[in-house]
């Protein structure tokens, strides 16, 4: 199925599932009308808000059809924005009820006289507020990613249980068997997805381990882990895609990281070998990864992602990389070289110093093998450097792009300022938006 059609089908299904409980409630409700239009509005807000939250997990639990149609980074962004939108809907729910004048203000206060189903609703609202706050301020509050991930999951389960109890006990259409059945099915879907994500998937990965055959120090304070499948065929991937790597004893621990494949995804040798190149940045990449020994067993979930030149054909390619953002671009170059693809490629590669240029020697080799021009841009150039200096900007691009550059496909991966700068500079140069493709390493 074409990717646009697949995307439209998934989105249509999503919207249908979000509105379905409300539609059934509205169709099957008893005649006689509602005491106030505001009560109906409040019910609609609550129903849509809860349905949106119930399906948040589908967006991020690596459901293959959805992630291959939209890309995991787009789904994560959607997950974040929809989460905030759903919070605003459920926040508006009690406010509209109060506005109707049919419910006293004390209902939203934590008093022992308030009926327990209302308490459940208030607690659910508190849980979702905390969940959003911790997500938006995770970095500012300096919460470790793994701690946040665990808290995020637990709060999500808590709020769905509390909100379901609230809706089923006092919800506007809660007495209707059809509505009860739908909420029950939604809850089962949520639990099923959770079990698939946290139990079934790790079990599958456990049966397909990988062995580290080399842990090589690279320029740019990075390490390349070369892996081979143990007693299974491994997988191929599109150049530019990524996988989740887990170097723990079992695939059940939370410490799994998204890393782009830096090797050629066509796996021509038939031994299934893949490679990840990881820059030392934090606890895991700086301490755990450098200490991984050859022979160690690791687990890889993949491939994922839509940042792939195989999906975007053009007469030529412009690759723009900063720092360790070179990894998916390196995989693309390797694939093109192996495929003897003669289309022109220009790589703009930004780094601080010459010694920060991960894959420097490999790139020199690739220049000999394919139609590749490499433009290095150094912010701290050595004495006598005659190349570009500073950062990759629109002016740097303009100096090196060939005449037909507007027809080329553009792939950008690097630190946020580079990505933001290029997303502004390329349209200014007249590159159409549908030819600009980005991968953000800081998507979570």
Yes or no: say if 310 and 299 are a contact pair by the CB < 8 Å rule. Answer: no
Yes or no: say if 260 and 439 are a contact pair by the CB < 8 Å rule. Answer: yes
DSSP for 150-184, please give it.
HHHHHHHHHHHHHHHHHHHHH-TTTT-HHHHHHHH
Q: How many CB atoms lie within 10 A of CB 92?
A: 16
What part of residues 41-60 is at the interface with ligand FAD (CB under 6 A)?
Answer: none
CB of 327 to ligand FAD, least distance (A): 4
What part of residues 222-261 is at the interface with ligand FAD (CB under 6 A)?
Answer: 242, 256-260
Query: Whose CB is nearest to ligand FAD?
Result: 282
Nearest to 159 by CA among 43, 42, 79, 50: 50
Q: What angle do CA 197, 64, 441 make, to 5 degrees?
A: 85
Judged by beta carbon, residue 248 or residue 272, the one nearer ligand FAD is 248
CB-based burial, 144-169: b 16+ in 10 Å, e otherwise? ebeebbebbbebbebbbbbbbbbbbe
If binding is defined by CB under 6 A, does position 170 make contact with ligand FAD?
A: no
- For residue 335, report the phi and psi dihedrals to the nearest 5 degrees: -65, -45
Judged by beta carbon, residue 277 or residue 409, the one nearer ligand FAD is 277
User: Would you state the structure tokens that stand for residue 184, as one six-digit string?
Assistant: 């029950």
Positive or negative, the CA dihedral 165, 170, 175, 180 is negative
Distance CA 218, CA 381 (A): 19
What part of residues 140-159 is at the interface with ligand FAD (CB under 6 A)?
Answer: 145
Judged by beta carbon, residue 182 or residue 436, the one nearer ligand FAD is 436
Residue count at the site for ligand FAD (CB under 6 A)? 24
| Helical residues (DSSP H) of 200-353, grouped into ranges | 201-206, 283, 326-338
- The DSSP letter of residue 288 is I
If binding is defined by CB under 6 A, does position 80 make contact with ligand FAD?
A: no
Q: Which member of 135, 221, 263, 285 binds ligand FAD (CB under 6 A)?
A: 285
| Cross-strand partners of 225 | 215, 276
User: Interface mask (CB under 6 A) for ligand FAD, residues 318-357, using x and -?
Assistant: ------x--x------------------------------
- The DSSP letter of residue 247 is -
Judged by beta carbon, residue 180 or residue 311, the one nearer ligand FAD is 311
What part of residues 260-279 is at the interface with ligand FAD (CB under 6 A)?
Answer: 260, 277-279
Judged by beta carbon, residue 54 or residue 412, the one nearer ligand FAD is 412
CB of 315 to ligand FAD, least distance (A): 27
Stretch that binds ligand FAD, among 120-128, 186-194, 404-412, 434-442 (CB under 6 A): 434-442
Judged by beta carbon, residue 76 or residue 392, the one nearer ligand FAD is 76
CB of 139 to ligand FAD, least distance (A): 6
Judged by beta carbon, residue 50 or residue 57, the one nearer ligand FAD is 57
Distance CA 26, CA 8 (A): 26
If binding is defined by CB under 6 A, does position 284 make contact with ligand FAD?
A: yes
CB of 347 to ligand FAD, least distance (A): 16
Nearest to 259 by CA among 208, 323, 328, 209: 328
If binding is defined by CB under 6 A, does position 282 make contact with ligand FAD?
A: yes
If binding is defined by CB under 6 A, does position 216 make contact with ligand FAD?
A: no
Distance CA 45, CA 94 (A): 9
Judged by beta carbon, residue 57 or residue 162, the one nearer ligand FAD is 57
Stretch that binds ligand FAD, among 112-120, 191-199, 284-292, 366-374 (CB under 6 A): 284-292
Judged by beta carbon, residue 99 or residue 296, the one nearer ligand FAD is 296
3-state helix, strand, coil in the chain (%, to 5): 50, 15, 30
Which stretches of the chain bind ligand FAD, using CB under 6 A? 139, 145, 242, 256-260, 277-279, 281-286, 324, 327, 439, 441-444
């Amino acid at each position: 199925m074409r990717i646009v059609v697949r995307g439209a089908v998934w989105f249509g299904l999503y919207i249908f599932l979000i509105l379905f409980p409300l539609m059934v409630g509205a169709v099957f409700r008893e005649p006689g009308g509602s005491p106030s239009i505001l009560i109906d509005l409040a019910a609609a807000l609550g129903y849509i808000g809860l349905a949106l939250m119930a399906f948040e997990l589908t967006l991020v639990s690596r459901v293959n059809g959805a992630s291959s149609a939209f890309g995991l980074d787009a789904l994560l962004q959607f997950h974040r924005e929809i989460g905030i939108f759903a919070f605003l809907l459920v926040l508006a729910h009690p406010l509209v009820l109060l506005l109707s004048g049919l419910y006293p203000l004390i209902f939203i206060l934590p008093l022992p006289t308030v009926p327990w189903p209302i308490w459940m609703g208030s607690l659910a609202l508190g849980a979702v507020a905390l969940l959003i706050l911790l997500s938006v301020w995770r970095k500012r509050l300096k919460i470790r990613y793994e701690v946040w991930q665990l808290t995020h999951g637990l709060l999500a389960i808590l709020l769905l249980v509390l909100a379901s109890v609230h809706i089923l006990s006092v919800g506007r259409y809660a007495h209707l068997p059809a509505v009860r059945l739908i909420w029950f099915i939604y809850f089962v879907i949520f639990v099923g997805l959770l079990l698939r994500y946290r139990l079934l998937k790790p079990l599958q990965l456990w049966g397909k381990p990988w062995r580290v055959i080399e842990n090589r120090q690279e320029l740019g304070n990075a390490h390349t882990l070369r892996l081979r499948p143990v007693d299974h065929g491994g997988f191929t991937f599109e150049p530019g895609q990524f996988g989740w790597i887990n170097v723990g004893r079992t695939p059940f621990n939370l410490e799994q990281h998204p890393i782009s494949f830096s090797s050629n995804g066509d796996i021509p040798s038939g031994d299934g070998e893949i490679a990840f190149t990881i820059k030392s940045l934090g606890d895991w990449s700086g301490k755990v990864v450098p200490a991984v020994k050859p022979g160690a067993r690791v687990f890889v979930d993949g491939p994922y992602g839509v940042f792939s030149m195989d999906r975007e054909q053009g007469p030529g390619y412009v690759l723009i990389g900063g720092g360790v953002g070179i990894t998916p671009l390196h995989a693309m170059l390797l694939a093109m070289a192996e495929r003897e693809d003669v289309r022109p490629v220009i790589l703009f590669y930004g780094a601080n110093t010459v010694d920060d240029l991960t894959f420097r020697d490999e790139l020199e080799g690739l220049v000999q093998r394919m139609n590749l021009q490499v433009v290095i841009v150094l912010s701290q150039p050595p004495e006598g450097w005659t190349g570009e200096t500073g950062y990759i900007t629109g002016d740097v691009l303009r100096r090196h792009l060939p005449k037909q550059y507007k027809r080329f496909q553009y792939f950008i991966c690097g630190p946020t300022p580079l990505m933001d700068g290029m997303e502004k500079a390329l349209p200014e140069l007249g590159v159409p938006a549908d030819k600009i493709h980005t991968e953000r390493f800081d998507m979570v």
